[in-house]
Amino acid sequence: MRLLMPLLAGLALATTAIATDPAPKPKVPKLTEELVAKGRAAYEVACASCHGTLGDGNGPAGQYLNPKPRQFGKEPFKQGDSVEAIFLTLQTGVPMTPMVSFAHLPEEDRWAMAWYVSHFLGTKDGKKTKKLVDKLPPLQPPATPAPAAP
């Protein structure tokens, strides 16, 4: 018993040290026009239905959510507005809100979406990203199927 107590105490300290070590900081990929284009495409599929194409929180599904989706350019982000913070939000979601995790998407897509979302903001990263977004060709509306022949 006398030998077991120091062993258990050491194990408890080691476990605590491991549990409190901060998670490794994610490595932010370099901002490129290709990454922003990929981010816009992924955003249109995964985010625009709630947040709207313009990031104004007016997507078609957003009206049914409580709380309403964030208006990116007007409301503060709960978990931070740096590209790293946006990426982590996409990875984990926001507890107690309809904002779900997108961890099922490839990491590159989440980074691309994080960079793209930053363009809605007036931050340093957002201003750099907006310059690249403005170079992208305009979004094309979805094709309307031709009416069926009578």
User: Which CATH number goes with the domain that contains 56?
Assistant: 1.10.760.10
pLDDT in tens, 111-134: 999 999 999 998 999 999 999 999
Residue 104 forms part of a structural domain: yes
Give the total number of structural domains in the chain: 1
23 band by pLDDT with thresholds 50, 70 and 90? low
Using left for φ > 0, alpha for ψ between -120 and 50, and beta otherwise, residue 2 falls in alpha
Q: How far is CA 91 from the centre of its chain?
A: 7
Vertex 81, ends 86 and 75: CA angle to 5°?
115
Residue 43 forms part of a structural domain: yes
pLDDT in tens, 35-67: 999 999 999 999 999 999 999 999 999 999 999
Task: Extract the tokens encoding 15.
Answer: 């476990």
Q: List the domain range (segments joined by +) for residue 41.
A: 31-133
| Backbone φ and ψ of 32, nearest 5° | -135, 165
